[in-house]
Amino acid sequence: MPNIRRIIDSFMERRIAHIPALEATSDQKLALCRQHGDFAVAYSTAVQANLKHFGDDAGYLAYATKMGHTFVLGDPVAPKAERERYIRQFVEAAASPCFVQVGKETAAVLSRLGYRVNHMGVDTHIAFDTHSFSGKRNETVRYSERWLIKQGYAIIECDGTKTQADQIKSISDSWRSGRIVSRREMCFLNRPFFPDLSPQMRRFVILSPDGAAIALLDFDPIFEGGVVTG
């Protein structure tokens, strides 16, 4: 039986303007990300498999198409002084694309181009060298940590040697099994899950009293000038 969703998607895709594709390797995208990936979803734009890219050897925009529309993910991964040029060129090539999870500077450029900008939330920045978990606001965090340690659990950073990829994948599979989207992994805004550690990712896991990994939290790097800054 034909998949109606795919038939409709295919029909709508044919309405999208032709956009010149950037044929860049994963290593080339990661190299640009290390230089200019200074925003929350920059790493995702370089490693997420189903994204398309527009740009040149000096920078790119990541985007995807759905139901006849083009959606850009994040800001341009490019030198700050050149980002407006990439935005303007893509808007001209893609004929009114939507931009998702962009920063203030990109929003300002889009506003000058006649876009309406919706501010729905902000990324939270925490400076760990000065941040404190004291006070009533963080009481639940402190209580949870003490309870876990008292019960014999451990919170560790995983470098790939303390857990195996199949153990990590089982945590993801177990969590997804009770979700509406259990058959297909969410993507675009959410980067698809990697059981193995990718370059410069950091992963923290909770180990049960018997040493089994039962929960995890992955952090993608934020770069600037070739240095991890967050």
pLDDT of residue 73: 97
Annotated domain spans of the chain: 4-112, 136-228
Return the amino acid letter for 44. Answer: S
This prediction has a pTM of 0.85
CB 219 within 8 A of CB 44: no
Q: What is the pLDDT of residue 79?
A: 97
Contacts of 179-187 spanning 24+ positions with Cβ under 8 A: 187/48, 187/50
Range of lowest pLDDT (8-22, 61-75, 168-182): 8-22
**What are 107-156's pLDDT values in tens digits?**
999 999 999 999 887 778 888 889 888 999 899 999 999 999 999 999 98
